[in-house]
Chains A and B, each alone.
Chain A
Amino acid sequence: MLASLGAELLKIRRRPSTWVLPLIWLAIIVLLNYTLTYALLSNVPPPTFPDGTPKAQQERVREQQEQFQEQQLRALYPENLVRNLIPGYPSVGAPIALILGALTVGSEYGWATFKTILTQRPGRTALFLGKLLALGVILALLVALTFATGALSSLVVAALAGGQIKGPPPGELLRALGAGFLILSVWASLGALLSTLLRSTALSIGLGLVYSLVLEAVIFNLPINSESFTNARKFFPGQNSSSLADSFSTQAPTQLAPQTPQIDAAQATLVLLAYTAVFVALAVFVFSRRDVE
């Protein structure tokens, strides 16, 4: 398996799409999470008051606005790095990981390269596990890169705003790195499984994105008032990814969908681990048994 891992790492790191997709995410972090938010907060026009507004009231409103701006800016400082970045994992990172997983396996079918590498002797299980391990290495790098980019951006914002430069608690940072890796892993393994089952890249990416972005939300909003349905919803990968990310928030969860079940971080971690294990095992099983055309 180590031989396969070495070969996969050589292939995967030379492949442009391996870096284009993460770069898009990093650009989103820099531009949307930090630059745009900082620009908006720094350029809020001063409040205007109708004639005759008492001076004390005007002062109070100005003070409230400054406090609000200060509070929002503080959310961009390094100490809030985790809370600022982790919500992007289920929403932006998950689709990117799904595409990377699908490309890693599906492209081999598209280029018909499985027959070439399988005749080189690695053995099917070792080959596939080596491929998934290499994907895991890329995901780990991606997690590190997102946090490094976020840290750098937050340092710049804090320096510009004259804010306090203090990192997040190490324990929280480590938990966030692990949670981020787990969220990406479950979606990447789903992408790998779909492309193994469908022997195609495009269809597996399409189906995976439809599920992650649309289907799960549709299922969640079905007007079914049943306890078993409510319980079943606690075991969906998207819901558990979001719950794990939300567990880092200090605020009460926003209830856009009032009937969304609440899942604690421990359960979400277990469910996501189980999904990753099942997706990987199923993909390896199917790949090792099917003919390679």
Chain B
Amino acid sequence: MTEGERRQPPLVETSGLGKRYGAVTAVEDLNISVRRGEVYGFLGPNGAGKTTTLRMLLGLVRPSSGTATVLGGEPGSPQGLRGVGALVESPAFYPYLSGRDNLRVMARYCEAPPSRVEEVLGQVELAGRARDKFKRYSLGMKQRLGVAGALLKDPELLVLDEPTNGLDPKGMADMRAIIRRVGRGERTVLLSSHLLGEVQQVCDRVGVIQRGRLLIEGTVEELRGGSGILVRVEPLEKAREIAAGLDGVEGAQIREGLLMVDTDPGRAADVNAGLVSAGLRVSELRPVERSLEDVFLELTGGETV
């Protein structure tokens, strides 16, 4: 994402968005913003309120409170939906129609040129099975048809809700490759998932939601915190002073009998050389990188995804 894109108004913005079903609060006081050109991961456990939020952003469900704008318009308005493609939950199409005819139907609804049908079939690698009826498709093929349907309008914003749900490992890898491919360039992708690895691999920024509330929002790097090098060295206090003064090191702290050096793990050799040349005894260096899963478990108090 370029600096120019960062300065533009968000494509999706919510303010105090909430949805209640009787006594049950599905989403509460949600504030997220999705910037132009990024792949935004909407992360949370099953039942956290991700799908309800996406449904509100697409105008399928009316919010109980708060507001949202999508591409500058009201969610669900024909004007706003002109630039939005979406796959919400499991892909739903007409079982008696072929994949191609299903897309033809969708193309008529969104007034996309008929030639787009063949283009998107090619993009999701489904052209060879386009004549088969939807009811004969495997789950992976159904998901790919769902993405194809979402791409028909060549949308500015692509909303994908758990696109790898239920797929086998190969299907998941294929789908991630498709998402990366369609997310290239200026297209913005809002990807909801409960799969941490998937979000870490694909997304630029992440919003973490739990029990309907946003816990944190930021880039994947911001969420994971700084990476560093953990050093077993003696004496510790002197080592901390020397390490803090080395080039490329942003800081050094003592943690549980070890020295944590905030720097790029690729600088391990430089850190080692600096400490050894000061006469310190270094017995171990290892890179430390928090995964998104570590962050998520910290934020959610261990609730599984």
Instruction: Show the binding face of A for B, using Cβ within 8 Å.
Output: 3-4, 6-7, 10-11, 14-16, 111-113, 115-123, 126-127, 291-293
Contact = CB atoms under 8 A, between A and B. Distances in A.
Contacts of A127: 109
Interface stretch (B3-11, B84-92, B213-221, B278-286): B84-92
B166 interface: no
20 contacts: A6-B108, A7-B106, A14-B101, A111-B92, A115-B60, A115-B88, A115-B89, A116-B149, A117-B106, A117-B109, A118-B59, A118-B60, A119-B84, A119-B88, A119-B159, A121-B78, A121-B109, A122-B109, A291-B61, A292-B61
Nearest to B110: A120
Contact of B81 (A6, A121, A292): A121
Interface string B106-139: 1011110000000000000000000000000000
A287 to B, nearest CB: 12
Contacts of A15: 94, 96
Contacts of A291: 55, 60-62
A14 B149 contact: no
B105 interface: yes
Contacts of B104: 10
Interface residues of B, number: 38
Contacts of B110: 3, 120-122
A7 B102 CA distance: 10
A114 to B, nearest CB: 8
A14 B109 contact: no
Nearest to B56: A291
Given A7-B108, A15-B96, A123 B88 contact: no
B95 interface: yes
A227 to B, nearest CB: 46
Closest 6 CB pairs of A and B: A7-B108, A121-B81, A112-B92, A120-B109, A120-B110, A119-B86
Interface in B176-216: none
A111 B91 CA distance: 10
A113 B101 contact: no
B108 A115 contact: no
A120 B111 CA distance: 9
Nearest to B92: A112
B252 interface: no
A16 B86 contact: no
Nearest to B96: A15
A7 to B, nearest CB: 4
A113 B78 contact: no
B240 interface: no
B36 interface: no
A120 B101 contact: no
A143 B106 CA distance: 29
Contact of A118 (B76, B89, B108): B76
Contacts of A111: 92-95
Given A6-B108, A10-B105, A291-B61, A119 B92 contact: no
Nearest to B146: A116
Contacts of B93: 111, 113, 116
Nearest to A121: B81
Contacts of B82: 121
A112 B55 CA distance: 13
Given A7-B105, A117-B109, A14 B81 contact: no
Given A10-B104, A121-B153, 14 more contacts: A3-B110, A7-B106, A16-B96, A115-B55, A115-B89, A116-B93, A116-B146, A119-B58, A121-B84, A121-B109, A121-B111, A122-B109, A123-B77, A123-B78
B295 interface: no
B152 interface: yes
Given A3-B108, A7-B105, A115-B88, A122 B60 contact: no
Contact of B94 (A6, A11, A118, A119): A11
Contacts of A292: 55, 60-61
Most chain A CB within 10 A, of B58, B84, B94, B159, is at B94
Contacts of A14: 96-97, 101
A10 B96 contact: no
A31 to B, nearest CB: 28
Contacts of B88: 115-116, 119
B229 to A, nearest CB: 47
Contacts of A6: 108
